[in-house]
Amino acid sequence: MPEAPYGPYQGFTVPPMPSGPPPAPPSALRAAAVALLNLSGLGLGYALLRRWGPLALCLAATAVLLFVALPADADGLPTGVLVGYLVVLLLAAAHGARLGLRTPLSVRAPLALVLGLVLLAVPAGGALWYDGARAEAEQQALLGRLEKADDLVAAAGRHTFAASRADYRSALAVYRDLAVDHPGSRAADRGPARMRAYYSSVGAAYGRREYCVAVEPLQFLRTVPRTMPAGELGSLARWPDDRLATSLYECGKADLGDGGEAWTGRFRELLADFPGSPAAAKVVPAVDAAVRSAQQGVGGSAPCTAVDRLHTLDTRLTDLAASAGNASTDLTAAAARAGRGGDAGAYECGVDQYKDGDFAGARKSMQSYVSDTRSGGKRDRAKKIAIAAEVAQTLPAAGKKLPTTASGGSISVTVKNDSPHDITVLYTGPVTGSFTLKACGGCTAYSLTQTITPGFKPCSDSGRNYPQRTIQLPTGTTYFVHQPQGTGAGSPASDTAKIRSGYVYTECAYTTRTFGSGT
């Protein structure tokens, strides 16, 4: 066939141009490269695929993550944010792998795969960096807690322990939590040094020799080892012991010397908790000295105060000895010495009371002395002083002079009882004594009208045998008090008699129905 001539319009059809590059054959290598590049969090797999929308979404997710995560703090990322971001990365990797399976890349697949592997270091390195930053933030937070606890201790040290106890407890709780919950942290490593400062602050009163003030905080420090790990305290665990023992002794000794009441509690705690301490060994000498001082005070200007002190020491030392362990015997002996000293000192106390006009007190003291003392030269005079003090309670003039132990005289004085009651007759003056007359049988109390009738004279019935007693008195003024005995007997009656030579004296005791007894 003859060839057709060429020409532009001879019926040939030009095939249409394709709208895009033809699909590439499936490539697992491309898919893996895109997936790895998207796992970097930067969406670079989408960049090689020229998918700008998903790329923007990947970058936005990473930006949100960085906004939430930075700056790093001790608590780290919220779990929800971290999980959400990982889901985004996995979805981007899966989506990118699907697209890259049949879509050509702007670079060769092997190079993209290597680049993806290299860029995996970005999230891995970022995670490592963030973990380190978070750990540092945690360290700084713990150091911040430590600093606040230190500030509490410093502030507490400027006030009394009672006012600062809560702050000390709060600071201790922080130190304990750092040691127990965060061992190995920089804050925990500083714990031992902080505890030394803590102990010094709480026990500062001891350093100032304020021993009574120091007792309570030192007792508190002894409870610290119950909550703190032993390794955190070391020798501090025993730090308060000697100081507390010394404080208990010094505080108790000072209170003992001042005549207070708290010393028994201080010494009891000392002997119970630190029986072998040097401070405990000083307790018995201290109480012995207190007993000797009180005994010496009996001969001083305030014998009654010294007697009261001795009786108080007797009571409290007896009580202390009951729980004093090895010191019980010595304390019991000290208590006995105090008791004997108090009993013996009652005489000097009674004399002092008598001279001061405290006749009721003098009578009580002398009766106590007579009751507690079985022998001795003072016992007889104590009886006389007790009688004279009782007379002086009714006739104060009788108490101007202390009675002596003298007895007898040259002048007879007969005392008769014209009363239906027993009568105790007390008298004092140049001589002092007492006796009791039995009730008069058949005698009755006189009416007030009878006693004021002219010519009234009791003990005048010649046919009645009045109970009576005759005593011998020297010249001078003698004071009599007639005390009726028994229920309804009435009040004491009194008489002042000036005894002179050449006379015979008669005293008559009687009672009235209205105003009691008379002479």
Each residue's pLDDT tens digit, 362-398: 999 999 999 988 877 799 999 999 999 999 999 999 9
Higher model confidence: residue 274 or residue 31? 274
Higher model confidence: residue 461 or residue 38? 461
234: its two tokens: 């070391």
Task: Give the DSSP letter of residue 12.
Answer: -
The whole-number pLDDT of residue 185 equals 85
Which whole number is the average pLDDT over 326-345? 94
Half-sphere exposure of 187 (CA within 13 A, CB side): 25
Q: Look at residues 125, 122, 131 and name the one whose alpha carbon lies nearest to residue 73.
A: 131
The whole-number pLDDT of residue 396 equals 95
- Burial pattern 135-146, b for ≥16 Cβ within 10 A else e, equals eebbeebbeebb
Beta-bridge partners for 510:
418, 518
Which residue shows structure tokens 């009599």? 480
Higher model confidence: residue 25 or residue 191? 191
The whole-number pLDDT of residue 392 equals 96
- Asked if residue 19 has pLDDT above 60, the reply is no
The whole-number pLDDT of residue 43 equals 60
Pair 365, 387: CB distance under 8 Å: no
pLDDT digits (tens, 9 = 90+) for 170-189: 999 999 999 888 888 888 88
Dist CA 46 CA 446 (whole Å):
138
122: its two tokens: 């970005």
- Asked if residue 459 has pLDDT above 50, the reply is yes
User: Which strand ranges, in their side-by-side order, compose the sheet holding 516-518?
Assistant: 468-473, 411-418, 505-512, 516-518
Peptide bond into 71 cis (omega under 30): yes
Report the percentage of the chain scoring pLDDT > 90: 54
Which whole number is the average pLDDT over 2-7? 48
The whole-number pLDDT of residue 125 equals 62
Which whole number is the average pLDDT over 198-215? 95
pLDDT digits (tens, 9 = 90+) for 469-479: 999 999 999 99
Which whole number is the average pLDDT over 153-181? 92
Determine the residue type at 458: P
State the helix-helix crossing angle for 79-100 and 28-39, rounded to 10 degrees.
160
C-alpha separations of 44 from 17, 50, 70, 89, 148 in Å: 31, 9, 23, 12, 48
- Sorted by sequence, the CB contacts under 8 Å of residue 408 that are 6+ apart come out as 431, 472, 474
C-alpha separations of 307 from 284, 378, 388 in Å: 21, 17, 22
The whole-number pLDDT of residue 169 equals 95
Secondary structure class of 43 (helix, strand, coil): coil
Determine the residue type at 284: V
Q: Indicate the pLDDT class of residue 210, thresholds 50, 70 and 90.
A: very high
Centroid of chain to Cα 274: 18
HEC assignment per residue over 340-367: HHHHHHHHHHHHHHHHCCCHHHHHHHHH
Centroid of chain to Cα 130: 51
